[in-house]
Amino acid sequence: MRRSIANTLQSLPDAELMLRVGQGEHEAYEVLYDRHARRLGGFFLRMLAYDTAKAEDMVQELFARVWTHRASYRAAQPFATWLYAMAYNLCKNDYRHEEVRQSYTAECMLREEPTATTDESIERRELRQLLRQAVQALPEAQRDAFLLHYDEELTVPEVARIVGCPEGTVKSRLATALTTIKKQMNAYK
Amino acid sequence: MNDNELKRIEQESAEVLDLLREVRDEDNTTVRLAPCPRPQKKSLRISPYWLVAASLLGFVLGMAIPRDNNISAKEYTTLLADTSVTIGRSLAAGDVNFALLVK
């Protein structure tokens, strides 16, 4: 019985699940958690300069808030925008930008990566590290828009709504960020 | 900034965006996820207004109940003020060792 309920819930879209969460249905909440937690963990990781412990805590904090504020969700609003807006605000509240950023380079180098076996994979690994550093080195506003749009695949209007600025500004931040990163990657090659 | 310009930059940076997806997928597996948080049971919350009201009620009842050593409200207030000043002076002079109070 419980399994069939879970299967039914799995097939439902996020908005429908969230409406059920609003009615206090915990199974729907668990399905949403399973569906989004990992991706949000990655988002927090990048937003908080690769502080793994913090990112793990933030996922818990975010979903606790989802439950607490479940009544504030409106079906007309895309679930992803609502969720990422909450996640983004959590990061903003918690930011320890400068100190975390300063420690980033060293921490990033210490991160354990899968062992590379060929020259190509070594180079690829170095490129990934370089890209991480380049993204973290972006100005805050550019980096936020960049991560929300390219990593989390939110549309420009959604990003504009989350960060609270006009769409044109988001587009120009994206273009500047992308150009900067591309230049840095080309310089490395 | 128009859409076409951004699209052009994205096309020129296709390689970077591919690498970015690789980084994202790798990062997403780095975080250790705890089980889904259980909703917290509603705890009993007492409003500060209720606390003040209960204190006032206690004061009024305390004053209303007759006792052998009843004192007037004025005497009580004076006593309370004197005691507070004495305690305050002791604290300011460092007469109280908090380290002994907290274990």
As a whole number, mean pLDDT of residues B65-73 equals: 73
Q: Looking at beta carbons, which residues of chain A come within 8 Å of B8?
A: none
Q: What is the dihedral of CA A49, A51, A56, A61, to 10 degrees?
A: -70
pLDDT interval class at A152 (50, 70, 90) = very high
Q: Is the pLDDT reported for residue B101 higher than 90?
A: no
Across all residues in chain B, what is the average pLDDT?
83
CB A42 within 8 A of CB B31: yes
A32 class by beta-carbon count within 10 Å (0-12 exposed, 13-18 middle, 19+ buried): buried
Separation CA A159–CA A81 (nearest Å): 8
Q: Looking at beta carbons, which residues of chain B come within 8 Å of A124?
A: 22
Separation CA A42–CA A34 (nearest Å): 14
Q: Is the pLDDT reported for residue A9 higher than 50?
A: yes
Q: Is the pLDDT reported for residue A104 higher than 70?
A: no
ipTM of predicted assembly, 2 dp: 0.82
Find which of A25, A35, A67 to mutate to test the B interface (most B CBs within 10 Å of its CB). Answer: A67
Q: What is the dihedral of CA A66, B38, A2, A19, to 10 degrees?
A: -20
Separation CA A110–CA A123 (nearest Å): 17
Domain that holds residue B88: 71-95
Q: What pLDDT is attached to residue A14?
A: 92
Both tokens assigned to A174: 């994206």
Both tokens assigned to B44: 């009993």
DSSP B19-63: HHHHHHHHHHHHSPPPPPPPPPPPPP---HHHHHHHHHHHHHHHH
- Does B50 map to a domain? no
Closest residue on chain A to B22 (Cα): A128
Across all residues in chain A, what is the average pLDDT?
86
Closest residue on chain B to A111 (Cα): B30
User: Higher pLDDT residue, A175 or A110?
Assistant: A175
Q: How many domains does chain B have?
A: 1
Closest residue on chain A to B16 (Cα): A182
Q: What pLDDT is attached to residue A123?
A: 81
Q: What pLDDT is attached to residue A111?
A: 56
Separation CA A43–CA A29 (nearest Å): 20
- Does B80 map to a domain? yes
As a whole number, mean pLDDT of residues B48-73 equals: 82
pLDDT interval class at A189 (50, 70, 90) = low
CATH class in words for A1-96 = mainly alpha
CATH of span A112-189: 1.10.10.10
CB A49 within 8 A of CB A104: yes
Residues B14-53 have pLDDT tens digits of: 999 999 999 999 999 988 999 988 876 666 677 888 989 9
pLDDT interval class at A46 (50, 70, 90) = very high
Q: What pLDDT is attached to residue A109?
A: 46
User: Higher pLDDT residue, B100 or A123?
Assistant: A123
Chain B contacts to A (CB-CB under 8 A): 1-3, 5-6, 9-10, 12-13, 15-17, 19-20, 22-24, 26-34, 36-37, 39-40
Chain A contacts to B (CB-CB under 8 A): 26, 29-30, 33-34, 37-39, 41-42, 44-46, 52, 55-56, 59-60, 63-64, 67, 111, 124, 127-128, 131-132, 135, 150-151, 168, 171-172, 174-175, 178-179, 181-182, 185
Separation CA B33–CA A63 (nearest Å): 12
Measured over the CA atoms of residue A153, residue A157, residue A160 and residue A161, the dihedral's sign is: negative
pLDDT interval class at A108 (50, 70, 90) = low
Residues A59-97 have pLDDT tens digits of: 999 999 999 999 889 888 889 999 999 999 999 887 755
Q: Is the pLDDT reported for residue A117 higher than 50?
A: yes
Q: Which residues of chain A form CATH 1.10.1740.10?
A: 1-96
| Cβ–Cβ gap A128/B22 under 8 Å | yes
B33 class by beta-carbon count within 10 Å (0-12 exposed, 13-18 middle, 19+ buried): middle
Q: Which residues of chain A form CATH 1.10.10.10?
A: 112-189
- Does B83 map to a domain? yes
| Residue whose entry in the numeric block shows the structure tokens 């780095």 | B30
| Cβ–Cβ gap A67/B39 under 8 Å | yes
As a whole number, mean pLDDT of residues A7-21 equals: 88
Separation CA A18–CA A11 (nearest Å): 13
Q: Is the pLDDT reported for residue B13 higher than 60?
A: yes
Q: Is A171 helix (H, G, I), strand (E, B) or coil?
A: helix
**Count of Cβ atoms closer than 10 Å to residue A70 Cβ:** 19
Separation CA A160–CA A167 (nearest Å): 5
pLDDT interval class at B95 (50, 70, 90) = confident
Tell me which H or E stretch contains A7.
Answer: helix A2-10
Residues A157-178 have pLDDT tens digits of: 999 999 999 999 999 999 999 9
